[in-house]
């Protein structure tokens, strides 16, 4: 009898974790047609509400499988892009499309959990406010100030819209930025992006970064050897479950004065665009892998 009860409970238990429906009726679509960060995405519909591999999620070493995965290989990240980057205010973030490099190919990544090449398509940011932090992934219970996303498309697919339909379509690198009182320096690429922010305050405003950079100049000397990786989704509607996430836990230090420029950016209604991060999503038993070269971590856990 106990066995029977246990059996029933066991199979009923997962119901507890099903997402609860909201009574609120909101229109969904692009930022211009309604969705916003007022509830950090809890009111977004469709896959955003019903999906089972949504992002962001909480990351920690304790809840990860520590694995000697291959490191991320950055292809053409040290080649100059063939034209200046244009920063665009999209109303829900600021975004740059990535052109080809001077040698013809776009930058790309492979390695980690990725099978094959993923071509860099865009860079955008999530941030907080003068009083709050705004990274999306929480790492070891900590939310960093800003999270930069470098979005890549599986080279197997023709474009982002096609790639979004496949579970292996997209790879996003999550890079944490941390406000530091006296950072040694800010990386040249990142400095140019932040210097352009005052020119893209208004929705739809565009600003061209002076000169050309390499995509690697956004990363500087970030330690990319340790990372979390898991299968998830876009963190904005339509929350497509197409993304393999690679999130680096070591932050890039930036000065307060640079972060403050993000808080000036305005949304589609002309209000400050702040806290444009999505709430943490259910893990639903997904494996999260932590890649490390520190073998003492590896053996400690075995
Ligand atoms: C993306 O590729 C698909 C398939 O080749 C094509 O039908 C579609 O028009 C393309 N979309 C864009 C926005 O280029
Ligand atoms: C390696 O991991 C162990 C256990 O977590 C830690 O004590 C040690 O400081 C780490 N070493 C390096 C070089 O990161
Ligand atoms: Zn993002």
233-288 pLDDT, tens digit per residue, is 999 999 999 999 999 999 999 999 999 999 999 999 999 999 999 999 999 999 99
pLDDT at 18 over 60: no
Q: What is the pLDDT of residue 133?
A: 98
Could you state, in order of their start, the residue ranges of all structural domains in the chain?
A: 2-301
Find tokens 């992934």 and name the residue: 137
184: three-class secondary structure by DSSP: coil
Local confidence band at 296 (pLDDT 50, 70, 90 cut-offs): low
State in Å: Cα 69 to ligand 3 middle: 24
Distance CA 128, CA 247 (A): 18
20 lines ligand 2 (CB under 6 A): no
62 lines ligand 2 (CB under 6 A): no
14 C-beta neighbours (distance < 10 Å), count: 10
Q: What is the pLDDT of residue 301?
A: 54
Distance CA 112, CA 128 (A): 29
Local confidence band at 82 (pLDDT 50, 70, 90 cut-offs): very high
Q: Which of 159, 165, 169, 242 to mutate to test the pocket of ligand 1 (most atoms within 8 A of CB)?
A: 159
State in Å: Cα 10 to ligand 3 middle: 36
Q: Which of 66, 294, 295, 302 to mutate to test the pocket of ligand 2 (most atoms within 8 A of CB)?
A: 294
CA torsion sign for 191, 91, 143, 181 is positive
Q: What is the pLDDT of residue 299?
A: 57
140 lines ligand 2 (CB under 6 A): no
226 lines ligand 2 (CB under 6 A): no
Residue-wise pLDDT tens digits, 170-221: 999 999 999 998 776 668 899 999 999 999 999 999 999 999 999 999 998 8
Share of the chain above pLDDT 70, in %: 85
State in Å: Cα 293 to ligand 2 middle: 10
Class level of CATH domain 2-301:
alpha beta
Closest by alpha carbon to 124, among 200, 227, 188? 200
162 lines ligand 1 (CB under 6 A): yes
Q: What is the pLDDT of residue 61?
A: 93
Q: What is the pLDDT of residue 32?
A: 53
Q: What is the pLDDT of residue 6?
A: 37
Q: What is the pLDDT of residue 228?
A: 98
Q: What is the pLDDT of residue 182?
A: 75
Q: Are 133 and 125 in contact, with CB atoms under 8 Å apart?
A: no
């Amino acid at each position: 009898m106990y066995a029977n009860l246990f059996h029933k409970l066991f199979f009923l238990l997962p119901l507890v974790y099903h997402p609860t429906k909201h009574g609120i009726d909101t229109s969904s679509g692009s930022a211009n047609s309604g969705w916003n960060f007022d509830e950090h995405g809890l009111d977004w519909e469709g896959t955003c509400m019903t999906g089972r591999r949504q992002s962001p999620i909480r990351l920690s070493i304790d809840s990860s499988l520590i694995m000697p995965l291959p490191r991320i290989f950055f292809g053409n990240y040290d080649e100059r892009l063939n034209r200046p980057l244009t920063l665009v205010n999209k109303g829900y973030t600021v975004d740059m499309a990535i052109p080809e490099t001077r040698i013809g190919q776009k930058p790309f990544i492979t390695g980690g959990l990725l099978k094959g090449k993923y071509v860099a398509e865009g860079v955008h940011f999530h941030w907080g406010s003068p009083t709050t932090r705004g990274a999306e992934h929480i790492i070891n219970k900590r939310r960093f100030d800003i999270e930069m996303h470098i979005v890549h498309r599986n080279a197997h697919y023709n474009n982002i819209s096609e790639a979004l339909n496949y579970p292996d379509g997209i790879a996003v690198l999550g890079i944490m930025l941390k406000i530091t009182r006296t950072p040694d320096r800010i990386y040249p690429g990142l400095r140019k992006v932040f210097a352009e922010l005052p020119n893209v305050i208004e929705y739809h405003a565009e600003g061209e970064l002076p000169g050309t950079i390499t995509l690697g100049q956004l990363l500087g000397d970030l330690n990319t050897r340790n990372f979390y990786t898991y299968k998830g989704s876009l963190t904005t509607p339509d929350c497509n479950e197409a993304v393999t996430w690679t999130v680096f836990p070591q932050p890039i230090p930036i000065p307060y004065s640079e972060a403050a420029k993000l808080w000036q950016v305005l949304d589609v209604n002309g209000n400050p665009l702040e806290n444009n991060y999505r709430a943490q999503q259910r893990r639903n038993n997904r494996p999260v892998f932590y890649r490390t070269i520190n073998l003492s971590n590896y053996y400690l856990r075995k």
